[in-house]
C-alpha cells in the first residue's frame, strides 16, 4: 500500500467524504474509485496522495482509474438468416461482429438502443455470406465519414469470396487463431466448420471479461467448446429444430445443406455444445441465428434450459433470444470491477 495513504488515514477519509466512492486494492496499493467523476481538486488530492507528480504517471493512473469503472455492453442488433450484427464495447472502444444488415439499419438500431454515439473501432467478419457481410462497403464509407476509417478484419478466404460491390477498402487479414488489438480490446478469432472458404468465430476480451459470438457452424468441435468455456457472455447458434426442418417446405438439397457438417447447428447439437463448453464463468447466454421457418423460440429455449437444468445452473445463467427484426436490449457484463450481468 502507498506509504502516504498508510500513514495518513485521515487523508483517505477526506477523499472518501468528498465524493461517494469505493475503496479498492489493486496490485498491493490502495486507491479510491469515485462513483461519479471527481472534481479537479479531488483528483489533484488523490494524485498527491499517490505520489504521482510527473505527467506520464498521472495520465497512466487516470487511465487505470477510468478503466476500473468500465462495463462491457453487448447488443445483438440482429440475428438470423436475413442479417446478423452484434455490437461489443465499453463506451471507450467497441467493435461490430459482422454487418449483415444495411448500414442504415445498423445505425438506426444502435441509436434506438442508446448506442448511437458508441465508438466503432473495427468490424470483425466471420465469413462471406451476405447475411453477415452485406453492408461492408457502405458501412466502411459511413464510418470513415464519422472521422476515420476503421479496419475490417477477416481471413483471406473470406475476402476472396466477397463480391466486388461488397468489398470494403479497409480489409485487414487475420488467420484462424490470431488475436488483434483494437484499442484496449483484444479480438481473438478461431476456426469453425461452415460451407464457406475460411470461416471463423470471434471472442472479444476486455480485462477479465470475455464475450464470444459463435454462429454458422455445422457441428460442435473441441476448439469451439474450449473457447466457449472461457466466455462470460456467449452468443450461440440454435438454428433449427430437426423435426421442423425434416417436415418443412425447404427443398431437399437445402435441408441437406443446413443439417450437414458444414451447415448450421440444430437445437440438439447446440445443446450438446453448450454442455461441453459450460463453465462457471458463463453468466449470460444468447440463443442466436434461429430459423424463422424451421425453429421456434420455445423449442430453442427448451433445449438450452434442459442442459442448464441438468447441470444445476439454470438459476445462475440468464438466457436471452436474439431477434431478427429488432435489436435485443444491451446486455451488460462488468469489466475489471467484477460486476456481473443482472438477472432477468
Question: Residue 236 is inside which H or E element, if any?
Answer: strand 233-237
Give the range among 87-96, 190-199, 283-292, 326-335 with minimum mean pLDDT. Answer: 326-335
Does an H or E element contain 285, and which?
Answer: strand 284-288
Phi, psi dihedral angles at 48 (to 5 degrees):
-65, -40
Quick one: pLDDT at residue 339?
28
Say yes or no to pLDDT of 27 above 80: no
In this predicted structure, what is the pLDDT of residue 71? 84
% of the chain residues with pLDDT over 90: 73
Going by C-alpha positions, the residue among 308, 324, 199 that lies closest to residue 264 is 199
Nearest to 169 by CA among 200, 184, 187, 148: 148
Domains of the chain, by residue range, sit at 3-68, 71-334
Task: Give the C-alpha separation, 43 to 31, whole Å.
Answer: 11
Please tell me what DSSP assigns to residue 240: B
Q: Which three cell numbers stand for residue 221?
A: 468441435
The predicted pLDDT at position 148 comes to 81
Q: What is the pLDDT of residue 56?
A: 59
Dump the DSSP string for 172-183: EE--TT-EEEET
Q: How far apart are CA 136 and CA 329, in angstroms?
A: 24
**What DSSP line would sit under 129-167, residue for residue?**
-HHHHTTHHHHHHHHHHTTS---EEE-HHHHHTS-GGG-
pLDDT at 147: 83
pLDDT tens digits along 156-169: 999 999 999 999 99
Task: Give the C-alpha separation, 16 to 272, whole Å.
Answer: 50
The bridge status of strand 233-237 relative to strand 284-288 is parallel
Tell me: the pLDDT tens digits for 256-306? 999 999 999 999 999 999 999 999 999 999 999 999 999 999 999 999 999
Output the nine-digit C-alpha cell for 158: 473470406
Residue 233: closest CA among 334, 122, 83, 329: 334
Tell me: the pLDDT tens digits for 201-249?
999 999 889 999 999 998 999 999 999 999 999 999 999 999 999 999 9
Q: Which whole number is the average pLDDT over 39-54? A: 46
| Whole-angstrom distance, CA of residue 188 vs CA of residue 202 | 6
Q: Is the predicted pLDDT of residue 102 greater than 60, yes or no?
A: yes
Question: Which residue has better confidence, 65 or 162?
Answer: 162
Q: For a pLDDT cut of 70, what percent of the chain falls above it? A: 76
Give the pLDDT confidence score for residue 16 in this predicted structure: 42
Nearest partner of 207 among 232, 180, 185, judged by Cα = 185
Distance between CA atoms of residues 269 and 220, nearest Å: 7
Per-residue model confidence as pLDDT tens digits over 166-207:
999 999 999 999 999 999 999 999 999 999 999 999 999 998
| 71-334 has CATH 3.60.15.10 classification | yes
- pLDDT reported for residue 34: 38
Amino acid at each position: 500500500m502507498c506509504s502516504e495513504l498508510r500513514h495518513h488515514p485521515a487523508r483517505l477519509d477526506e477523499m472518501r467524504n468528498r465524493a461517494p466512492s469505493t475503496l479498492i486494492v489493486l496490485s498491493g496499493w490502495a486507491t479510491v474509485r469515485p462513483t461519479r467523476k471527481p472534481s479537479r481538486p479531488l483528483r489533484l488530492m488523490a494524485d498527491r496522495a499517490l505520489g504521482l507528480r510527473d505527467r506520464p504517471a498521472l495520465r497512466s493512473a487516470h487511465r487505470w482509474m477510468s478503466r476500473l469503472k468500465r462495463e462491457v455492453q453487448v447488443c445483438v442488433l440482429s440475428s438470423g438468416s436475413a442479417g446478423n450484427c452484434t455490437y461489443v464495447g465499453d463506451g471507450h472502444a467497441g467493435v461490430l461482429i459482422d454487418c449483415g444488415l444495411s448500414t442504415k439499419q445498423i445505425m438506426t438500431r444502435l441509436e434506438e438502443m442508446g448506442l448511437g454515439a458508441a465508438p466503432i473501432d473495427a468490424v470483425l467478419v466471420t465469413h462471406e455470406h451476405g447475411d453477415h457481410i452485406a453492408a461492408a462497403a457502405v458501412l466502411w464509407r459511413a464510418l470513415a465519414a464519422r472521422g476515420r476509417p476503421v479496419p475490417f478484419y477477416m481471413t483471406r478466404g473470406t475476402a476472396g469470396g466477397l463480391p466486388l460491390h461488397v468489398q470494403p477498402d479497409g480489409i485487414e487479414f487475420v488467420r484462424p487463431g490470431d488475436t488483434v488489438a483494437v484499442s484496449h480490446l483484444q479480438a481473438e478469432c478461431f476456426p469453425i466448420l461452415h460451407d464457406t472458404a475460411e470461416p471463423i468465430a470471434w471472442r472479444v476480451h476486455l480485462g477479465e471479461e470475455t464475450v464470444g459470438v459463435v454462429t454458422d457452424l455445422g457441428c460442435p468441435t473441441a476448439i469451439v467448446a474450449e473457447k466457449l468455456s472461457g466466455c462470460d457472455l456467449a452468443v450461440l447458434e440454435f438454428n433449427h429444430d430437426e423435426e421442423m426442418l425434416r417436415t418443412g417446405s425447404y427443398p431437399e438439397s437445402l435441408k441437406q445443406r443446413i443439417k450437414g457438417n458444414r451447415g448450421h447447428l440444430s437445437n440438439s447439437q447446440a445443446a450438446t455444445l453448450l454442455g461441453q463448453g459450460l463453465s462457471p464463468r458463463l453468466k449470460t447466454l444468447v440463443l442466436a441465428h434461429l430459423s424463422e421457418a424451421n425453429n421456434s423460440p420455445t423449442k430453442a429455449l427448451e433445449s438450452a434450459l434442459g442442459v442448464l437444468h441438468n447441470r444445476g445452473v439454470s438459476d445462475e445463467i440468464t438466457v436471452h433470444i436474439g431477434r431478427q427484426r429488432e435489436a435485443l436490449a444491451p446486455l451488460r457484463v462488468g469489466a475489471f470491477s467484477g460486476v456481473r450481468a443482472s438477472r432477468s
